[in-house]
Structure 1
Amino acid sequence: MTEQNRLKQIIEAALLAAGKPLSLDEMIGLFAESEQPEKKRLREVLAELTEDYDGRGIEVTEVGSGFRIQVRAEFSPWVSKLWVERPPKYSRALLETLALIAYRQPITRGEIEDIRGVSVSTNIIKTLTEREWVRVVGHRDVPGKPALYATTKEFLDYFNLKSLNELPTLAEIRDLDSINRELELQDPDKVSDEQPDGDAKAAEGGEEDPETQQDGDDAIPTDEIDTESTVKESEAEAEPEVFAESSDETDSFDHLDSAETPSAEDDTSDQQIDVDTEPMDDAEQPETEPPAVALSDEEQTPLKTEIDE
């Protein structure tokens, strides 16, 4: 057995037994100081293993924390049935929070809440920390010193990424349009393509406002509404004039009545004037005694004689 084949077998066995990715430094640490291979030599061995596994059910892949041997993705539906436990399902809120940390790191909890518009549950941060996907990398120099969160190498390993540069662009994530809006990183071409569709829908809808439309027989034509409103306005304008004319006529009638019908005092004064001015008939005039005339004795004697006779 050549030294080259022996080194390849040692690295292959270590990757299979580790159960986690191994970095180049960890591989070198498996050997004694006098036998430690160079990193360049290790990379050549890993490249040979990759060629050996070509066309097989396993592969050598590099992730954030190192190299590992894993089942190819196309065979995972069958291999996953070996484990009874189902993979944990995470809520949309947790995934959105993780995405914001991945694309905006380092980021504070308050900044995540401002972008999402809702508060971030403590359980979400706790779950991400326990999974070792997120860790505190510092504190922002503002009042309160909020913690800054960033992703870890375990995050890269779980999602089979070598670095953050391999994260899919937001334009490629069609299923997370809400995340695109929250991160304000939408593809400008996509926005421009969607705009004509909105204009076309508006054109198809017509000029009528759907809020003002009525359904069925209850709908009232616009012409009838305008006609009724015009009639009501004309009636409203005509009513004050009619009222004014009727009030003028009433005043004139009152004036005539007052002129033709004298008051009680006037009647009394007129009657008094008539009584004072009208001449009385002779029959109605009172009888008055003639004034007494003084007679002399000579004149009284014949009168007495006549009376005696």
Structure 2
Amino acid sequence: MTNGEAAPRPSRQALIGAALLAAGRPVAARELAAVLGLDEEVMQHELQTFSGVLEAADLGFRVEMVAGGYRLVVPGEVAAQLSPLLAPPPLPPLSSAALEVLAVIAYRQPVTRAEIEAMRGGSASTVVTLQERELVKVVGRSDAVGQPLLYGTTERFLVEFGLGGLGDLPPLDGADFSHLLRG
């Protein structure tokens, strides 16, 4: 860049990769399209192309769609070898009681603590732990007497379970879903 030459403009692929890396959260295709001045359909195609480029180049990360957006992730087989470099250390696994409460909230939201306790037949005290881990949040108040708090899941819940949305929850059939939580 001498004599007033302009720097070359980054390619769409470079901008997409940089956006997904820098955002630190899932980014919706429509949001990327707006930032890059593209039609959403064109952006979907560009995201698919970018994903294919990463896969073909075997660079140690890939594009994943979660929580209604796209993000860059390190596949499990690569992350396992890099675990000493990755921070923070994973949180301890959720207890069975916490997983039960989380399942009730995920499938029945919005739901009050009393409703959770009635469905579980026991305490819903783990709601606090789930809130601390940002898996559930208060989403409003019920019209019932005393206007109890209503709980629902968060975007982080979707990300941690690798779900695109609540419609991706597995059907209830009595199976154990504790293995789905990644951290």
Which consecutive residues of structure 2, in runs of 5 or more, have no partner in the other structure? 1-8, 179-183
Conserved in 2, the CA contact under 8 Å of 1:65 and 1:157? no
Displacement, 1:119? 1.9
Give the C-alpha shift of residue 15 in structure 1.
Answer: 1.0
**Aligned to 1:152, which of 151, 154, 162?**
154
**Kept in 1: contact 2:66–2:165 (CA 8 A):** yes
Which runs of structure 1 show a deviation greater than 4 angstroms over 4 or more consecutive aligned residues?
A: none
- Displacement, 1:67? 0.6
From the superposition, tell whether residues 83 and 157 of structure 1 become closer, same or farther in structure 2 (CA, over 3 Å).
Answer: same
**What letter matches 1:53 in structure 2?**
L
Whole-angstrom CA distance in 1 between matches of 2:11 and 2:174: 44
Q: Where in structure 2 are the equivalents of 1:16-165 lying within 5 Å?
A: 16-31=21-36, 36-55=37-56, 56=58, 57-83=60-86, 85-89=88-92, 90-121=94-125, 124-165=126-167
TM-score with structure 2 setting the length: 0.79
Most deviating of 108-117 and 77-86? 77-86
Change (3 A) 1:84 1:38: closer
Distance 1:126 1:66, change over 3 A: same
Q: TM-score, normalised by structure 1?
A: 0.49
Report the Cα distance in structure 2 between the residues aligned to 1:120 and 1:172, rounded to whole angstroms: 20
The structure-2 alpha-carbon separation of the partners of 1:172 and 1:79, relative to structure 1 and needing over 3 Å to count, comes to: farther
Q: How many residues align?
A: 168
Report deviation, 1:83: 3.0
Alignment of 1:1-309 (within 5 A): 6-31=11-36, 36-55=37-56, 56=58, 57-83=60-86, 85-89=88-92, 90-121=94-125, 124-171=126-173, 173-174=175-176
Q: What's the offset of the Cα at 1:74?
A: 3.3
The secondary structure found in structure 1 opposite 2:116 is helix
**Counterpart residue identity of residue 76, structure 2:** A
Aligned mates of 1:67, 1:49 — CA distance in 2? 11
Larger fraction in helix: 1
Larger relative contact order (C-alpha < 8 A, sep ≥ 6)? Answer: 2
Task: Tell me the percent identity.
Answer: 40
Per the alignment, do residues 19 and 175 of structure 1 end up closer, same or farther by CA in structure 2, a change over 3 Å counting? closer
Q: Which amino acid aligns with 1:144?
A: G
State the 1:172 CA deviation: 7.2
